[in-house]
Amino acid sequence: MDIIQAIIMGMVQGLTEFLPISSSAHLVIVPELMGVKSSLAFDTILHVGTLVAVVGYFWSDILAMIKAFVSSLLDLFRGNFKEGLKDDEFKRLAWLIIIGSIPTGLMGIFLKDQFESLFSSTVAVGFFLIITGLILWGSERMPKGEKEVKELSFKDGILAGVAQGCAIAPGISRSGATIATGLFLGFDRKLAARFSFLLSIPAILGAALIQVKDITSMDTGLAVLIAGFISATIFGYLAIKFLIGYIQKHSLMVFAYYCWIVGALTLGISLFWI
């Protein structure tokens, strides 16, 4: 892989990690189209790049949640934990992210081996892309929600975490599944996207740490790694900024159509061409 290819791969990872069109699917399809093979070191760097993007965009929210979480721990000893969750949206948001990350982590641990083989199957990728399109289509058929952070329950967090865990299947969009779940549960549209991106932080961090642990050698050049990292960070940040604004005024159907078209083409080529 050369630097230009690394930049393209970083762009693909950054955009598709946060736009509801599945990064896992595109990281299977794009290397096939370019005729390149990625490496564990490079994949890890791309994940770190998208992590930097989401942390950078939501930095003030993250600091507020950390402070609120520490304060809520003190509330346990003061005997006003429930009141704190009602009065401070960042306390509630911090606990929702923690609770939502539990099913995601468990699904990743126990289902990883079952789904790992599917990453080499373009047929599976095409099929799950079509499913992602259906999920987005269904979410846009729901009445407009108005739930704000203080109205969210721990059940909402768990369901969003389960939806995020389903993205272990290549072609199921993590952001698409969690945003759609938020819309199904009646979240305000901006909150659905915001919560999806904040919930992604532990998931992306966990994936990167697992990959780092499994790296045995640096088989990719430093310049290629740096190019991929910078590209993933920049395009990840732009994707978050775009979708936060877009979802408030526009339907997600354009992404559903995209998933259906790419999924159908992938299925067709895999089944009838190759």
Give me the residue spans of the domains in the chain: 3-273
Q: What pLDDT is stored for residue 52 in this prediction?
A: 97
Q: pTM of the entire structure?
A: 0.93
Choose among 45, 166, 38: nearest CA to 103: 166
The pLDDT of residue 215 is 61
CA 180 to chain centre: 12
Task: Tell me the Cα Rg of the chain.
Answer: 19
pLDDT along the chain (274 residues), means of 10: 92 95 89 80 88 97 96 89 88 96 92 78 92 97 93 96 94 96 96 97 88 64 90 98 96 97 92 71
Distance between CA atoms of 219 and 242, rounded to whole angstroms?
Answer: 34
Separation CA 182–CA 72 (nearest Å): 25
Give the per-residue pLDDT at 269: 87
Question: At CA 204, angle to CA 243 and CA 129, rounded to 5?
Answer: 60
d(CA 261, CA 265): 6
Q: Three-state SS for 187?
A: strand
Q: What is the pLDDT of residue 41?
A: 75
d(CA 72, CA 85): 8
Other CB atoms within a 10 A radius of the CB of residue 234 amount to 17
Backbone angles phi, psi at 201, to 5 degrees: -60, -55
Distance CA 17, CA 229 (A): 14
pLDDT of amino acid 217: 58
Task: Give helix 189-214 / helix 154-165 axis angle, nearest 10°.
Answer: 50
Residue labelled with tokens 């000893």: 77
pLDDT at 3: 92
85: tokens are 């969750």
The rounded Cα 159 to chain-centroid distance in angstroms is 15
